Amino acid sequence: MSEHQKRALVTGGAGLIGSHIVDLLLREGWTVRILDNLEPQTHKNGKPAWVNPAAEFRQGEVQDYETMRTALQDIDVVFHEAAYGGYMPEMAKYVLVNSFGTAQMLEIIRDHNLPVKKVVVASSQAVYSEGAAKCPEHGHVVPLLRPAEQLRAGDFSVHCPVCGRATQSIPTPEATPGGGETVYALTKVDQERLVLLWGKQTGIPTVALRYSCTYGPRQSLFNPYTGVIAIFCTRLLTGQQPVMYEDGGQTRDLCFVEDIARANLLVATTDKLDGLPVNVGSGRATSVRDLANVIAAQLGVEIQPLARGEFRPGEIRSLISDISRIRTIGYEPQTTIEQGIARYIDWIRTQGPVEDYFGKAEAGLRAKGIVQSVKG
Ligand X SMILES: NC(=O)c1ccc[n+]([C@@H]2O[C@H](COP(=O)([O-])OP(=O)(O)OC[C@H]3O[C@@H](n4cnc5c(N)ncnc54)[C@H](O)[C@@H]3O)[C@@H](O)[C@H]2O)c1
Of 156 and 225, nearer to ligand X (C-beta) is 225
Which H or E run contains 341?
helix 337-348
- 3 state DSSP class of 140: strand
Least Cβ distance, residue 170 to Zn ion (angstroms): 14
Of 120 and 122, nearer to ligand X (C-beta) is 122
CA atoms within 13 A on the CB side of 148: 10
Of 96 and 170, nearer to Zn ion (C-beta) is 170
User: What count of other Cβ atoms lies within 10 Å of the Cβ of residue 6?
Assistant: 17
Of 155 and 290, nearer to Zn ion (C-beta) is 155
Least Cβ distance, residue 189 to Zn ion (angstroms): 26
Reported for 36-44, long-range contacts at CB under 8 A and 24+ positions apart, including other chains, are 36/11, 36/12, 36/60, 36/82, 37/61, 37/62, 37/82, 38/14, 39/84, 41/86, 41/220, 41/222, 41/223, 41/225, 42/15, 42/220, 42/222, 42/223, 43/14, 43/220, 43/222, 44/222
Decide which of Zn ion, ligand X, none touches 148; Cβ closer than 5 to 8 Å per partner kind: none
Number of helices (H), then strands (E), belonging to the chain: the values are 12, 19
Decide which of Zn ion, ligand X, none touches 63; Cβ closer than 5 to 8 Å per partner kind: ligand X
Least Cβ distance, residue 117 to ligand X (angstroms): 21
By the criterion CB under 6 A, which residues form the site for ligand X?
12, 14-18, 35-39, 42-43, 61-63, 81-85, 97, 122, 124, 211, 213-214, 220
Least Cβ distance, residue 97 to ligand X (angstroms): 4
Residue of this chain nearest to ligand X (CB atom) = 15
DSSP-derived pairing of the beta strands 206-211 and 213-215: unpaired
Decide which of Zn ion, ligand X, none touches 135; Cβ closer than 5 to 8 Å per partner kind: Zn ion
Least Cβ distance, residue 321 to Zn ion (angstroms): 23
Decide which of Zn ion, ligand X, none touches 163; Cβ closer than 5 to 8 Å per partner kind: Zn ion
Torsion angle, alpha carbons of 120, 121, 126, 132, to 10? -30
Of 162 and 301, nearer to Zn ion (C-beta) is 162
Of 83 and 207, nearer to ligand X (C-beta) is 83
Least Cβ distance, residue 39 to ligand X (angstroms): 4
What are the angstrom distances between the C-alpha of 331 and each of 286, 306, 325, 326? 20, 36, 9, 6
- 3 state DSSP class of 101: helix
Decide which of Zn ion, ligand X, none touches 211; Cβ closer than 5 to 8 Å per partner kind: ligand X
Of 146 and 252, nearer to Zn ion (C-beta) is 146
Decide which of ligand X, Zn ion, none touches 214; Cβ closer than 5 to 8 Å per partner kind: ligand X
By the criterion CB under 5 A, which residues form the site for Zn ion?
135, 137-138, 160, 162-163
DSSP conformation letters of 215-275? E-TT--SS-TTS-HHHHHHHHHHTT-PPEESTTS--EE-EEEHHHHHHHHHHHHT-STTTT
Decide which of Zn ion, ligand X, none touches 146; Cβ closer than 5 to 8 Å per partner kind: none
Least Cβ distance, residue 219 to ligand X (angstroms): 7
